[in-house]
Amino acid sequence: MTRQLPRQLEAYRDLLNETELNQLLESINQPLPSGLRTNPLKASVNAPQAWQQQYGWQLEQVPFCQTGWQLRNEVGNLSRTVEHQMGHYYIQDAASMLPVELFELQPEAEPSVLDLTAAPGGKTTHIISQFEDRGLVVANDSNLQRIAGLKGNIQRWGSTSAVITNQPGERMGRWLPEQFDYVLLDAPCSGEALRTSERHTSRLVSSHERNTLQQRQIKLLESALQAARPNGHVVYSTCSLAPEEDEAVLDALLKRYPEQIQIMSIPANVPIEAPGLLAAGSQNYDPSIANALRLWPHLYNTAGFFAALIVKRDQIATPNLERPQQTLAKAGYKAVTNEEQRQILDTLHAVYGFDLRQILTTKGLSLWRNGKTIQAIPERWLSNFEQFPFVSAGIQVGKLSRHGFQPAHDLASRYAEQFSQQQLTISDQQLDDWLARRDLVIKTSQYPNGSVVVVRDQQQRYLGLGQIDGNSLENLLPHWQ
């Protein structure tokens, strides 16, 4: 007699043997362990050990992600720590750490990377780590409401190499053909991850919705392939295990471009066994799809996930589509003058002990002014993607007004160790108020009124910038904190 399965699992009955089906059933009722991924731009390799001691976390490394950790104990809200607010880690389910691990950085490379559907930026922050914040990362999303979250997460991560665009992903490949060494398509999907969590609730997906999603996924993947350079790598991923959104999408593109694309076997740094399906229902798929990763929830104690690494062997004929254009001047930017640049570099050096000049040179950034805001923008973006509209680019450096130059939290947070002067230490009792963005009462005669200081706690952790105003320390933490 056929046994009764939860309705959302019915479609999976024939894809697994009896033992696997039992394991799956058992796993989906287990609570999903919390996960976090550390930020190598800010956190040292020993940071997870220190957090274990400080916060009582029991951390276990994710087998396919060196910077990824799962919690073995229940510890409540992971976002309430200093380190989270300062961008030392990103809270992420372990399964979502899989796709970016499929990209391998060549030594000395300065890659150009496109994250086609990026918001809220979980995978973009991972890309930035994986590529050591080198080269250029274009993070795109068509949904303007979700762009604010993406921007906040990239700022918190401290990246200098990221540019955010707000465009329909389907067109990016025709607007920017063969421009990128790596392209991630973490596609919009039904979210049928089988194991429910706060973010993924279980629901039934109609065949009409599934079909609409599949058509969009195919169009987006075609665009991702167009945007990749010959020999470029494209990762396709979803947080759904429905074969229609996974293997079937790859199969459609393999049929369209049999000579130009190939599904690659998984790199050695991802030591997991989770092959893609060769058939589902009446559909047979291309045999190379076995190289994809179908992460069933019971395999590694994660939510369900799917990812495949595709190499673009050869050019794809791409119809020309005229790009949207916006000059920097129209977007409100003008290059800083030599005098302004000197003032910014000198203040950072003399007051904070920080050498911005060297960072501009090594990272290929130039300074631009938008009103009072000074932004360091990747020159590579300006030269290769001239006049392509963007939401934000590079890193905020500070504000310049007739009162002088004031550094930005984004810069000070990213390079906190190098901001070696103009420090103020607050007490442990003041910490919660400060992190809640409240001003503090302080007694110090160390700095003149109006000074902007680097605030640290008793453990010397960077906590943001503050401005001295009599007996008050004005809290300059940005509102996205």
Ligand X SMILES: C[S@@+](CC[C@H](N)C(=O)[O-])C[C@H]1O[C@@H](n2cnc3c(N)ncnc32)[C@H](O)[C@@H]1O
Residues at the interface with ligand X (CB under 6 A): 96, 117-123, 141-143, 146, 168-170, 186, 188
Separation between Cα atoms, residue 355 and residue 98, nearest integer Å: 36
Tell me if the bond preceding 120 is cis, omega within 30° of 0. yes
The answer to whether 227 and 181 are in contact (CB under 8 A) is no
Minimum distance, C-beta of residue 244 to ligand X, in the bound complex (Å)? 16
3-state secondary structure of 373: strand
Q: Helices in 319-378 by DSSP H: which ranges?
A: 338-352, 356-363
Minimum distance from residue 141 beta carbon to ligand X (Å): 5
Whole-number Cα distances in Å, 117 to 67, 220, 357, 458: 23, 9, 33, 41
Nearer to ligand X, 91 or 436 (CB): 91
Residue placing its CB nearer to ligand X in the complex, 91 or 279: 91
What is the C-alpha to C-alpha distance for residues 45 and 40, in angstroms, rounded to an integer? 7
CA 287 to chain CA centroid, Å, is 31
Asked whether the beta carbons of 364 and 335 are under 8 A apart, the reply is no
- The least CB distance from residue 209 to ligand X, in Å, is 14
Annotated ligand binding at 346? The verdict is no
Which tokens is 256 given?
């369209």
Strands in 35-38's sheet, in edge-to-edge order, are 59-62, 65-71, 35-38, 89-91
Q: Which is nearer to ligand X, 158 or 173 (CB)?
A: 173
**And the tokens for 15?**
């894809």
Cα–Cα distance, 141 to 166 (Å, whole number)? 5
Query: What is each CA distance from 250 to 150, 165, 195, 221, 319, in whole angstroms?
Result: 27, 26, 24, 8, 21
Q: Is 433 annotated as a binding residue?
A: no
Residues 56 and 75 sit within 8 Å (Cβ to Cβ): yes
Residue 215 tokens read as 């058509």
Q: Which is nearer to ligand X, 122 or 464 (CB)?
A: 122
For tokens 């949904």, the residue is 143
Output 100 or 411, the one with its CB closest to ligand X.
100
CA angle 52, 56, 61 (to 5 degrees): 40
Query: Choosing from 119, 154, 239, 299, which is the catalytic residue?
Result: 239
Q: Nearer to ligand X by C-beta: 141 or 286?
A: 141
Q: Could you tell me where the DSSP H helices lie in 241-296?
A: 247-256
Return the half-sphere exposure (C-beta side, CA atoms, 13 A cut-off) of residue 466: 29
Is 65 part of the annotated catalytic residue set?
no
In whole angstroms, how close is the CB of 213 to ligand X at the nearest point? 10
- State the amino acid at position 460 in one-letter form: Q
* CB closer to ligand X out of 237 and 341: 237
CB of 186 to ligand X, least distance (A): 4
- Report in angstroms how near the CB of residue 329 gets to ligand X at its nearest: 27
**Smallest distance from ligand X to CB 200, Å:** 11
Q: Which residues does the annotation mark as catalytic? A: 239
Annotated binding site for S-adenosyl-L-methionine: 141, 186
